[in-house]
Amino acid sequence: MNRQFPHAMLPRPGHDEQARQDFVHDYKVHVLSGLGPRQRQVFDQHATPAFEKTHGHAPRSRREINTAMTPQPTWKMWSALNRTGQELMWAAISDTAFRDRERLVDQARRIRRRDEGRGSLRIDPALAVPRYISAVDIHLQPGGYGLVLDEDDVYAGALYDLSAHHYSLGGLNPMGSDPGDSTVLFLRENYPQFRPRRILDIGCTVGASTLPLADAFPDAEVIGIDVAETFVRYADARSKSLGRAVHFAHMNAERTDFPGGHFDLVVSHLFFHETSAKAVRNVMKEARRLLAPGGLMLHSDVPEANQFHPEPFDQWWRDWTTHYNAEPFRATLRDTSLVQAAVNSGFESSQVYETKIPSAAAAATYKKTHGYGAEWHMVVAAHGGQSGSAI
């Protein structure tokens, strides 16, 4: 397993904590890549014949497959093992992050004082966390994204940073920046002349995907926003500690306070699947408002849209995380067209498309264990003329 880059804000595991985290990694690999693919045999050899007996036909949709698979003991066992792996992961990394939290709060304060003026941090004490975030511990993160323990808290940010590495089994690369790196690669290949002056990263979390944009466009002003307070506070300290000058703001992407036409590039990574149908509409509309003529909007997410996976079994397989891993909107998003949502928000339909883009990391582990390859689903919309090759 590749190790996470030990930047100054990362919680530091002790020896036994590291051993436990390594165990969880191996456990997850075994359950996902060792036992996971065998569920196809359970479907073909047991679930399908049983379903045919009662329904007179083989399961045809992901919902019928769910009906057929739910009673299967091997599937139940696998599902329990997979859920347990996720809970073990959180237990292991939250022990480390919680034990280390006071040192990290001090560290963030020190970094902010030392590097004042390199980037900025804006916290809005009045900002309400939307219900699709506050009501759910997304993919079982204890306390959820909105957790704030104390003044200047960074705990949930530190926990997320650790989890992104462990949840992806190291597949996002040591900086967790693969979504952002892949977006930069996509821009280089398809819009080589594009030089944005202001960039907005929506749902930036700890800034892992924001920093590659700052590196790729060193003359641009880069702003990351997130609705979770400790995430942007942590992102600011993390970014400063890594020598970057990025601005972070605690803000709801459905209603920002930036003026219209402020950005040439608006992006998000792994964002929409953790929101809601209403938020998709609002954020698309807001992104369209914020985009300057000639600008680009790029949304990259998990590559699991139905059009990429026409096989009902594949679609059903991807529903696991909605049923058992507290990602309620993820399966619904698969039935939602983000292209249509972009058009509805005011983009010309000839200026919007979606595609799969390759992952910048040679994420072999990710590909093997998650089974859907090292790639991302990208929705692209241009505001007016764009000189890139893709539109």
Cα separation of 319 and 116, whole Å?
45
Q: Does 209 bind ligand SAM (CB under 6 A)?
A: yes
Q: Does 253 bind ligand SAM (CB under 6 A)?
A: yes
Least distance to ligand SAM from the beta carbon of 238, Å?
11
Q: Does 272 bind ligand SAM (CB under 6 A)?
A: no
| Integer angstrom CA distances of residue 211 from 82, 199, 219 | 32, 11, 13
Cα separation of 352 and 354, whole Å?
7
Q: Does 161 bind ligand SAM (CB under 6 A)?
A: no
- Which residue in 17, 100, 181, 226 binds ligand SAM (CB under 6 A)? 226
The partner residues of 352 in beta bridges, in order of sequence, read 381
Q: Does 228 bind ligand SAM (CB under 6 A)?
A: yes
Least distance to ligand SAM from the beta carbon of 2, Å?
17
Least distance to ligand SAM from the beta carbon of 146, Å?
8
Q: Does 279 bind ligand SAM (CB under 6 A)?
A: yes
Look at residues 67, 250, 72, 243 and name the one whose alpha carbon lies nearest to residue 157.
250
Residue 381: phi, psi to the nearest 5?
A: -140, 135
- Which residue in 78, 155, 248, 271 binds ligand SAM (CB under 6 A)? 271
Query: What stretches of 188-332 adopt beta strand conformation (E)?
Result: 198-202, 221-226, 247-250, 263-269, 291-301
The smaller minimum CB distance to ligand SAM, of residues 32 and 270, is found at: 270
Cα separation of 93 and 78, whole Å?
23
Least distance to ligand SAM from the beta carbon of 321, Å?
12
Tokens coding 141: 């993160």
Tokens coding 310: 């026409």
Minimal CB distance residue for ligand SAM = 203
Q: Does 86 bind ligand SAM (CB under 6 A)?
A: no
Q: Does 274 bind ligand SAM (CB under 6 A)?
A: yes
Q: What is residue 226's three-state secondary structure?
A: strand
Residues at the interface with ligand SAM (CB under 6 A)? 130, 133, 145, 179, 203-205, 208-209, 225-228, 231, 252-254, 269-271, 274-275, 279
